[in-house]
Structure 1
Amino acid sequence: MKIKKLTLALMAMAIVTVAYAATDISGHWKGSINNEIEVAYDFKVDGQKLSGSTKGPDGNTIQLTDGWFKDDSLAFTLPIMDQQFKMTGKVKSTDQIVLYMKGGPMGDMSYVIKKAK
């Protein structure tokens, strides 16, 4: 009896893990940096390729480059003012991503974006 319950619990965990790994982050995401600077991203996932855009400080659209998405990790580059800012991220839930930037104009930082409804 214990073996049967353990097997069922392991199967349930495997299903949840597969469902979580298959999260599609395509869509519109919003957040803020230091509760001061509003940011928004439009992501599109095609297999492991991540593309999309955001708005720059001047309001112009910036296309994400070199993007990828696998399991719960993502990365892309933001070309802003003749510089390349590399971003990485982790999906924390189906509606929350933490993004990280090393060595940006404000130094190393992280911030949360949430799926817009």
Structure 2
Amino acid sequence: MTKKFLLSAILILAIVTVCFAADITGHWTGRIADQFDISYDFKVDGEKLTGGTTGPDGSVIPIKDGVIKGDSLSFSINLMDNVMKIGGKIKDDNTITLKMPGMGGREPMSVILTKSK
């Protein structure tokens, strides 16, 4: 009886953890290589992540294939006819670390985003 109860409790906890992805809805900003400011507007609906970022010309670039599960997120953007796959980790309510592919064959970059108030 105790084993069944313990197994049920663990299963319920696992389901609850998966079902409640972090809600990062809002405006986030960061800086690439201490030179370029970037911003993202995220919207979370369950595990679906949508939104966009601002391109170099000021236009909005929509997020595609966005997924958020627990503290992990992934999405892609089309920047100047190049599809960039981006992944990241949510550190807390105010910090996200993104891993972005390097441009021109360079090493991938890490970018820290903070939530705007």
Q: TM-score range by the shorter chain?
A: 0.7 to 0.9
Question: How far apart are residue 22 of structure 1 and its match?
Answer: 4.6
CA deviations 1:48-96 (Å, max 9, x no partner) are: 0000011011111100001000100000001011110000000011100
Question: How far apart are residue 34 of structure 1 and its match?
Answer: 1.3
Equivalent residue number for residue 11 of structure 1: none
Aligned partners of 1:73 and 1:88 also within 8 Å:
yes
Question: How far apart are residue 101 of structure 1 and its match?
Answer: 1.2
Matched-pair identity in %: 45
Which stretches in structure 2 are left out of the alignment for 5+ residues?
1-12
* Matches of 1:36 and 1:103, distance apart in 2: 15
* Matches of 2:83 and 2:116, distance apart in 1: 26
Listed as ranges, the matches of 1:1-117 within 5 Å are: 22-105=21-104, 106-117=106-117
Aligned length: 100
User: Higher strand fraction: Structure 1 or Structure 2?
Assistant: 1
Aligned AA (1:66) = D
Aligned partners of 1:85 and 1:101 also within 8 Å:
yes
Root-mean-square deviation over aligned CA pairs: 1.8
**TM-score (structure 2 length as normaliser):** 0.78
Aligned partners of 2:53 and 2:60 also within 8 Å:
yes
Q: Which runs of at least 4 in structure 1 moved beyond 6 Å after TM superposition?
A: none
Equivalent residue number for residue 3 of structure 2: none
